Structure formats: structure tokens, C-alpha cells
Structure 1
Amino acid sequence: MRSGTASGPERTRWPVAAGAGGVLAGLALCTVLVALPGTGGRGTELSAWPSGVALAAACLLLGLGSLEPMRARPSRAVIAVTAGVWASSSLIAAWLQLAERAGTGPFRLSSAALGPGLASGLGPLVCVAGALAVLAWTVRPFAPEIAVAAVAALGIVAVSTAGHAAAGAWAPLLVGVHALAAAWWAGTLAALALSVRGRRGWAESLPAYSRYALLAAALVVATGLPAAIGELGLSDRWIVTGYGRVVLAKIAALAVLAALGAAHRRTWVPAAARHAVPEQTSLRRAVVETALLSTVLGLAAGLAATAP
């Protein structure tokens, strides 16, 4: 990207490419780690791929609906397109999950398998309903923008707490908070990259985001580690299983993000607050961090579809 002022197409292209590319890279890395010899797992299910796209769309909607405290306004068209992606990818994920539960191919799914499958896999259907509600909102807004964030948050919690990692008394709470904090952290930064204009915009929005992001990152760590230990225990399963290796990859990526975030808080954030950073530079840094955060989201989506 060139220095100076970001054009409209460029502003949209780079954050979208970073988010989509990061999610796909995370899913691909998850697939490779699970397929390594000696992992002993069943592998990552095919439904992980549309589930990852749906998760990324829900995270972006959560961020777009959360911009008001950061003095930014989202585009209604961006919200509509994102909701459409969320609905379609959630439908595909639901279809593939039904086939996986029935133990058959997606084109051989019988009507007899629909009832039990729907009863055990309502998460994606909640997302479809939520996406349709958001689409209706874009046509005729019937609530403040925060309602978009609330609907996206509901879908994220419904999906994240339905898997094996949320089994147990406290696990659903830990996993739900972990998923929401990570979704807000990634989705809001991507939303800022799509919505903020000019040096003044970044000077107003970035310091506020940085304060909230610090809390989100702390929640991700504070809830993610206990949930992982509850699933894997203190054993060699962290190394010898594909599931454990993906968790370690997530931890490594989060460590890189923590270091990058600390560097940004020392340099980018104060300079942007003084109007000393060109818009294009802020956009470029947001895009890089969005790509890394999206990779973690892709790992998380793959992890949810991987047997421990």
C-alpha cells in the first residue's frame, strides 16, 4: 500500500483480504497439524471451512455494531454484505454438520437424519436467523447499531458453547467469554480498518480501541488457558494429539499478537492520537494485525471441528 490517503476500493480490499486470508490460513494450518503422523485424531471435519467463514463474518458484525464508543460509524452496505456472508456460510456449515453427524456424504443426507441432527446442532441455525435479522435491520433500522453487535454476539456464543470443548460445569462460561473477547478484539479492529477515515478519525478511534482491546486480550488469555487445561489436562496430549498441537499454535499466535499489541501501544497509538501518523500507515498496521487475529480465528474454527 502506498503512503498517503487510502482510496475507497483500497480501504475495503485490504482489510477484507487480510481477514479472509488469515482465517483460511488458520484453517489450513489446523488441517496440517491434525494430519501430522502420530496425532491419533480423526482429523478436522469439512464443516470447519464454512464455519470459519461464518465465524469471521460474525466477528466483523460484532465489531461493526460496536463502533459508536470509538466515534466511528459503519457502512450499512458493509453490514448487509457481511450479514449475507454470515447467513450463507452458516447454512452450508449446518448442512455439512448434519451429514457428519449422520455419517454420510452431504449429497446423501436423508430426511430421517434431519430431526436428530437439527436438535443437536442448533448453533448454525441461530446464526442464520440472526443474519436474517441483521439484513432486515439494514433495510429499515429498528434499533441502535449496538443491536447488530448483540445479534452477532448471540450467534458466536451459540456456536462456541455447542462443541465438545464446552462440556462440563464451568466450561461453557469460559468458552463463551473466550469466544466473545476474541471476536470483539479481531472484529472491531477489522471494522475500524473498514470505517475510519483520515488522521483525525484514527486519532479519535484508535486510543479508545486500544484500551478496550487490552481488556479483551486479558480475557482471552484468562479464559482460554483454563479451558484448554480442562480439555487436555497436564499431560503429553498437548504434543501427541492434533488437538493439542492446534492449541499450542493458538498460544504461539497469541504471544506474537501480544508482543505486536504492546509495540503498537508504545508507538502507533500515541502517535496516532497526536495526528502524527498518515491514514495509510494506520490502515496498513491495522491490516497486518487483522491478518494475525484472523489466523487465530481460523485455528479456533478448526479446533472446534477437531476431535480431542
Structure 2
Amino acid sequence: MPGAETVRLRAGFAIAAAALAVVGVAICQALAAPEPAAWAGAVTIGSLSLLLGLGALPLIGAEPSVRVIVGAGAMWGVASVIGGWLQVADRIGVSPFEVGVGDLTTGVQTGLPVLVGAVGSLAVLGWGYAALRAEPPVLLVSVIAGLGVLAVSVTGHGGESVWTPVFLAVHSICAAWWAGTLAALVVTVRGKGGWARTLPEFSRWAMPAVGALIVTGVVAAAVQLGVGPQLWETGYGRILVAKAVLLAVALALAWWHRRSWLPRARRHGVSERESIVRAGTEVLVLALILGLAAGLATTGTG
């Protein structure tokens, strides 16, 4: 596949994924009333997912791009700060442009995601600087991103019971790994040989990750909202149902790919373009789900 065409295809999927994450937040706006910080939250979750996936690539036989890691790390930091700023403005009831320095210490619900986002982003940028002169462990990026995912997932609704944060943490890590690693493969892997080497390894790790995602998601939803009319009478419930429907679509697509794509890719029987398109299509569905997750995280359960 010509290099220029490959670059355009990868860039097209990246732009489409970002757009669908925004669409996910817009759907939440139609179904409920999430906080304005949800828009920045979608960027935060997307950046963290990509960072987590890029950092985990050595586990499946691939090496990430340092430039992509640095770019995702910078987006994470900026989105975290903007998200905290929007949250403060919403809680004290003023325009974002009227927020003062003193408001930042009193208006934010919890500063953990903002603090971890700022420090974690700087750590990723530091890793990128070190990578210019040495070979720092790539898995460190995944660890830093994982801490960011945990900081986002355990705040807010995660504090409603003793065990809910645990279920939400596992659910969020698994979702971020699934979406982020597939996205990392799209922007990183080259040629039939690259896909033949990495896709089987990804599939091997994906089975337990997706299983844990489903179980913890069901348990967390049952604990937070229960089962009954609240699933369609509350905004939180409606977003949860929409997220579950899209997750079912993603699972069906992943199952189909496992049957029709994986065996041929393992035998070097799939072109680079087809692999990019298949992985990219799955990423698009997951990006829409991540947008819904960002809206869900800033929507009250009542």
C-alpha cells in the first residue's frame, strides 16, 4: 500500500474517531444533562486510552511512535486543566471566563483528576525527552496513563459505595486498553507482517480484558442504579442503556473480526489496508462509547 495513502487512511480514522467521541457527548446532552466538563472529559479519556494502548504495545510485539506518545500526553494535560476549569465555572454558576484563581480551590468537586492529569502529562513529556537520548521503558507510559484512568474513574460516582470504585476502575482500565491498543495498532503497525505478529497477541489479551469489562460494568451499573424504570426515567439510565447497546455492537463486531479477520491475518493473508480499515472501524465504535462514558461520568444518577 503506498505510503501517502496509508498516512491519509490513518489520519482519516483519527479524525473520525475524535469526531465520534464528540458525537457521544452530544448524545448525552440529548438524553440527559451532563456537566460542560464532559466535552473536555471526552478528550481526556481518549488521550488516556491512546497512551495506555501505546505504552502496552511492547506486550504484543510492536513499538510505538514517540511523537504520538508526546502528542497524546500533551492533550491529556490540556484537557484535564480545561475540564477542571469548566467544572469550577459550572459549580459556582459563572461563565468560564469569569472564573478567578480563588475559585479554583473551592469550586472544583475533586482536584484529583486535574492534579494527576497535570503531573502525569509532564511525566509523559519527560519520558519523551528522555527517549531522545536513551531508551526509557515504554511500559512506563502505560503505567502513567493507567493512573490517569484510575483518577478519572474513581471520582464522582465512584465514591457512592465501598466496592463501586473497584469495579469502575477495572471497567475503565479494560475499556481504555481495548480502545487504546486498537487505536495504537492503527497508527503504528506496518505491513502484513506487522499485523500477522501483533493481532494474534492483541486477541489473546483481549479475551480476558473484555470479559472483565462486561462483568464489572454490569455490577457497577446494578450497584449505582439498579434494574427498573430508572433505566429510562433518568438521564443517567438512558445514557447507560445507550452505552450498553453500543457496547453490544462493538462486541458483535469484535466477534466477527475474530472469526473472519484474525485467522487470515495470522497467515499473512490480509492486506495492510484491510487491517487498518477493520481495526479503525472497531475504534470508531469504541470512540463513540468513550464519548458516552465521558458524559455519563458527569451526569447525576438521580
Q: How many residues are paired up?
A: 297
Q: 2:209 aligns with which of 197, 210, 216?
A: 216
Please give the root-mean-square deviation of Cα atoms over the aligned residues, in Å: 1.5
The DSSP-based 3-state class of the residue aligned with 2:36 is coil
Is it true that 1:268 corresponds to 2:261 in the alignment? yes
Q: 1:13 aligns with which of 11, 14, 24?
A: 11
2:111 matched residue in structure 1: 121
Counterparts of 1:296 and 1:213, CA distance in 2: 17
Higher relative contact order (Cα pairs below 8 Å, separated by 6+ residues): 1
Query: Does the 8 A contact of 2:87 with 2:108 survive in 1?
Result: no
1:183 to partner: Cα distance: 0.2
Counterparts of 2:142 and 2:46, CA distance in 1: 13
Unaligned runs of 5+ residues in structure 2 are: none
* 1:66-77 map, 5 Å: 66-77=56-67
1:192 matched residue in structure 2: 185
Is it true that 1:151 corresponds to 2:144 in the alignment? yes
Q: Deviations over 1:148-167 (max 9, x none)?
A: 00000101100111112442
* 1:41-120 map, 5 Å: 43-117=33-107, 120=110
% same residue: 42
Counterparts of 1:117 and 1:126, CA distance in 2: 18
Unaligned runs of 5+ residues in structure 1 are: 35-42
Q: Deviations over 1:211-240 (max 9, x none)?
A: 111211111110011111111122211011
2:276 matched residue in structure 1: 283
Q: Deviations over 1:154-204 (max 9, x none)?
A: 011001111124421100100011000000000000000000000000000
Query: Does the 8 A contact of 1:19 with 1:190 survive in 2?
Result: no
- Comparing 190-199 with 9-18, greater Cα deviation is found at 9-18
Q: Show structure 1 runs of 4+ deviating over 6 A.
A: none
Counterparts of 1:118 and 1:239, CA distance in 2: 29
TM-score scaled by length of structure 2: 0.94
Query: Does the 8 A contact of 1:14 with 1:287 survive in 2?
Result: no
Counterparts of 2:210 and 2:78, CA distance in 1: 30
1:136 matched residue in structure 2: 126
1:69 to partner: Cα distance: 1.5
Is it true that 1:306 corresponds to 2:299 in the alignment? yes
TM-score scaled by length of structure 1: 0.92
1:39 matched residue in structure 2: none
Query: Does the 8 A contact of 2:43 with 2:76 survive in 1?
Result: yes
Counterparts of 2:195 and 2:21, CA distance in 1: 25
Query: Does the 8 A contact of 1:70 with 1:209 survive in 2?
Result: yes
1:37 matched residue in structure 2: none
